[in-house]
Structures are given as C-alpha cells and as structure tokens.
Amino acid sequence: MYICGTCAVEHAEKVDVCAICADERQWVPADGQHWTTLDELAAAGHAVRVRELEPDLYGITVEPKLGIGQQAHLVRTPAGNVIWDMVGYVDDDAARRVRELGDVAAIVASHPHMYGVQVEWSRALGDVPVLVSEADREWVARPDPAIRTWKDSLDVVPGVRLLQLGGHFPGSAVTLWAAGAGGKGVLLGGDTIQANPDRATMTFMRSYPNRIPLSAAVVERITRGVEGLRFDRLYDNFGKTVDTDARAATRRSADRYIGWVRGDFDHLT
C-alpha cells in the first residue's frame, strides 16, 4: 500500500502520478510525484491526535501535518460511531484510541480528497464498511471488499444522515448529525460547504487551492439541499466552524456568492 505524498490518499500500487492530484482541483508538486508508506511516516514521527470538539464529537488529525491537513470527525451515537472524512495515517495506538470511543459503524468520505487511508483504517477497526458515493467511485485507488457505494441520501445510523449535494465533486456530500450542538443539529460540511475564517459565513468551490468557482446555479442547488434541514452549527474539514445560526448563514453566504458571480457587485471592483 502506497500513500500519495501530496494528498495522502492510499493506492494499491505506485502509478506515474496520483490521479486525484493530477486533476484540476488539486496539484502535482513541481518536482513530481512523491510516494510514502505508513512505516516511513511512523519513522518521521507522524502520530494521530484525537480531541473532543463537543460532547460525542471528536476531531482526528495527523501531526506533523500530512497531505492537505484535513481534520476527520468521529460522531459517537448509541447505535455505533461514524467517522466522517479520513486522515492519511493510522497506527495501532490511533486505532486503539478510536475503539475506546465505541464500535465504529462506518467510515465515510465527503469526497475523494478525503479518502485518506480509509481502507487501512477499516482493517485496523475490524473491517468496518467504507461508504463511497457512487458518483465518485472511479477515484478509489485502493479497491477493497469493505467499500460500499451509496447515492442521494443514506441514514448510516439513527440520527446520522448522508446527503449527496454535488458541487466540489459530483458525489460531494454533507452529514447531518441531529443530536449535535446540544440537540440543535450539526452539519459536517466537508468541502461541499466550507466554513470561512470569519466563522460566520461559508463558501462553495470546485477547487479551493486553484480558485475555481462553482456557478450560481450549482451554489443555489447545494443551498436548497440543506435549507430543509435542522442544524445550528457547521464544521468544515479543516478545523473551521460556524458555531451558531449556521443554516441561515448558509443562505446568506450563498446569496452573497451568487451576487458576486452574477455581477451584482461589479461596481465595487
């Protein structure tokens, strides 16, 4: 098993270039493709950190930073835990600490940039299912019997629902955790709806590093896809949050975005 040094997604074998990084949404380093392994990462001092973000929600990160530096989320429920998005490293200690939080029912990625070493984590946790959006199945570089596809929407466990909204990727998804934020609801937005540094607004992009926007129509579609949901807080996958009134903030953010790409504010430029 090989890990791309740029995006930290696992591959069954070395190829000339990681397809995820060669895509216009990512990048290949100027000096070419780099590969690594779990053993090399361990020798370099990488370790998984698990910390509580709020009751029954935990952030999982790798230090030093690996790949694009995402934060995975573990939602703890009475029916089993769900890991949303995945990091690019795992070892015995990391698996032990995650198991101590309860049995994992499924691992889910919001989109291919977040696959990480999802199959390796599945094996470390007892071959738990890895859920991949059917629309993004082609991006899986390490096939495994644990991988199962889904589309449109799926209740992974009671109170945790996946919704395919598209945008960043055709299969890009969000997760609604009904019990989060003290019962007011939490949306795990991934890169589908990403929190801004101001902690009050969100944005929507085809490519974040390469600054490729989405159209007004797609942003409106994504926003309408969550307007009927009940949530007060949003977490993205890089440690940023919109702590309160997140559903209304999504609409305000979408209206602002749509106005800019439509030309409503050209007089300000």
All structural domains of the chain? 2-26+47-268 (3.60.15.10)
Give, as one character, the DSSP assignment of residue 214.
Answer: P
The pTM assigned to this predicted structure is 0.96
Residues 126-170 have pLDDT tens digits of 999 999 999 999 999 999 999 999 999 999 999 999 999 999 999
DSSP three-state, residue 45:
coil
Beta-carbon neighbour count of residue 209 at 10 Å?
A: 11
pLDDT of amino acid 40: 98
pLDDT of amino acid 174: 98
Give bridge partners of residue 104 from the DSSP assignment: 81
Beta-strand runs (E) in the chain? 2-4, 10-11, 35-36, 47-54, 57-63, 72-75, 81-84, 104-108, 130-133, 147-150, 153-157, 160-164, 173-177, 186-190, 194-195, 202-203, 205-207, 212-213, 233-236, 241-242
Q: Which amino acid is at 92?
A: D
Query: Average pLDDT of 189-205?
Result: 97
Whether 74 and 83 have beta carbons less than 8 Å apart is answered as yes
Residue 267, C-beta contacts closer than 8 angstroms, at least 6 positions apart: none
Pairing of strands 72-75, 173-177: unpaired
Residues 163-183 have pLDDT tens digits of 999 999 999 999 999 999 999
Q: Which amino acid is at 206?
A: R
